[in-house]
Amino acid sequence: MKCTEVRTILSQLYDREEPVTPFPSTDLEYLSANGYVLKTTKEDYEKGVSDVARMSQVLTQIDTEKSAEQQAKAALQADERKEHSFQFHFEGREGKDELSERIQKETAAIFGEESEINQLEANVNRLIQQKSTIDRMVACDGEYLSITGLGTLVFNDLSVRNYRVADQEFPDFITEIKATYAELRSISDKAASYVGWIRPQVPEIEDLDDSENGDNGSVDEGLSLLWSTGIGLAKLQGDTAQIGRRFADALSALRTFESTLPNKLMAAEIMAALSSQDVQILGANLRNLDE
């Protein structure tokens, strides 16, 4: 199955075009089994539509239950105030027992109302999700289909790369995309680690000139600078601890230079790509030039 064929299928489902152009059942089974397309029988679809149609009734029932709950709470509060009042001490045993029993029943009734309301609200949330799914479905060969969240992501990737991957086998494309995402996650994790490590070493990053950006300029510019440096270091191949040490050595060698912090960080990032020995030699040469 070629990428262009998958993109055509997903495009129809994404745009909810009806009727959907028929396509091989094997392709549909593949897309459904791998989570790109949700497939539903006509019977299940109609049942879902019927269930969603009851949502207004459930909402009305919730309002009724909440009203009953408020009334029960008001009655309970009134009885509890009576139980703690001064006059209650003059009540007879029968009156006290009757009030105590009523309070217990009212408390139990409130718990029951709350449980019922929670169940009804959970049912409404389920119906809302079900409605969202049903609204995205289109009829196709006696079944109903909709694109999933994963399918939407893949469709967007296919659309962006269509000019390059149109004739590529779709499974190969998925393997390539997974590898790309894994690499991006790795870079992101490493960058976050570098940002946390660099920030304490350059406290002056909080004092960047904010004259052009207003009061929040230094914060935004500082974070942007930290992350751009962290991402640059994360893209370097090798042991992160050694790269971090080379960056620290390079930054130390550059601190005496009359230059801006962004330029120093950029230069230190470039120097971190060198070997430790090269960084030391270059640092010594820079200090000699500075003298």
Domain C-terminal end among 90, 113, 135: 135
- The average pLDDT across 11-33 equals 87
Task: Reply yes or no on whether the pLDDT at 209 is more than 50.
Answer: no
Task: Reply yes or no on whether the pLDDT at 31 is more than 90.
Answer: yes
Alpha helices of the chain — where are they, by DSSP H?
3-15, 25-33, 42-53, 55-83, 93-135, 149-165, 170-198, 217-234, 240-254, 261-271, 276-290
Return d(Cα 71, Cα 78) in angstroms, integer: 11
Task: Reply yes or no on whether the pLDDT at 217 is more than 60.
Answer: no
Q: Lay out the sheet containing 138-140: strands in order across.
A: 37-41, 143-147, 138-140
* In-domain check, residue 34: no
Residue 249, amino acid: D
User: What pTM did the predictor assign?
Assistant: 0.61
For 70, the 3-state DSSP assignment is helix
pLDDT digits (tens, 9 = 90+) for 163-178: 888 899 999 999 999 9
* In-domain check, residue 9: no
Range among 98-102, 178-182, 223-227, 262-266 rated most confident:
178-182
**Domain extent for 244:** 194-290
Domain C-terminal end among 135, 164, 186: 135
* In-domain check, residue 220: yes
Q: Are 3 and 166 in contact (CB under 8 A)?
A: yes
Which pLDDT score is estimated for 208? 64
Domain C-terminal end among 135, 154, 177: 135
* In-domain check, residue 160: no
pLDDT digits (tens, 9 = 90+) for 270-291: 888 876 565 555 555 555 545 5
Which pLDDT score is estimated for 214? 52
Q: Are strands 143-147 and 138-140 parallel, antiparallel or unpaired?
A: antiparallel
State the chain's mean pLDDT as an integer: 81
| Cβ-defined contacts of 77-81 (< 8 Å, 24+) | 79/103, 79/106
Same domain, 211 and 284: yes
Confidence of residue 90 (pLDDT cuts 50, 70, 90): low
Which pLDDT score is estimated for 157? 92
Task: Reply yes or no on whether the pLDDT at 104 is more than 70.
Answer: yes
Please return the burial class of 268, using the count of CB atoms within 10 Å of its CB with bins 0-12, 13-18 and 19+: buried
Which pLDDT score is estimated for 289? 46
Confidence of residue 212 (pLDDT cuts 50, 70, 90): very low
Return d(Cα 160, Cα 166) in angstroms, integer: 11
* In-domain check, residue 31: no
Same domain, 202 and 274: yes
Q: Are 250 and 283 in contact (CB under 8 A)?
A: yes
Task: Reply yes or no on whether the pLDDT at 250 is more than 70.
Answer: yes
Confidence of residue 97 (pLDDT cuts 50, 70, 90): low
| Domains contained in the chain, number | 2
Q: Are 1 and 166 in contact (CB under 8 A)?
A: no
Name, in order, each residue with C-beta under 8 angstroms of 275's C-beta and a sequence gap of 6 or more.
Answer: 246
Which pLDDT score is estimated for 285? 53
Range among 170-174, 210-214, 246-250 rated most confident:
170-174
Return d(Cα 231, Cα 7) in angstroms, integer: 32
* In-domain check, residue 162: no
Which pLDDT score is estimated for 234? 92
* In-domain check, residue 166: no
Same domain, 129 and 198: no
Please return the burial class of 192, using the count of CB atoms within 10 Å of its CB with bins 0-12, 13-18 and 19+: middle
Q: In DSSP terms, which residues pair with 99 in a beta bridge?
A: none
* In-domain check, residue 208: yes
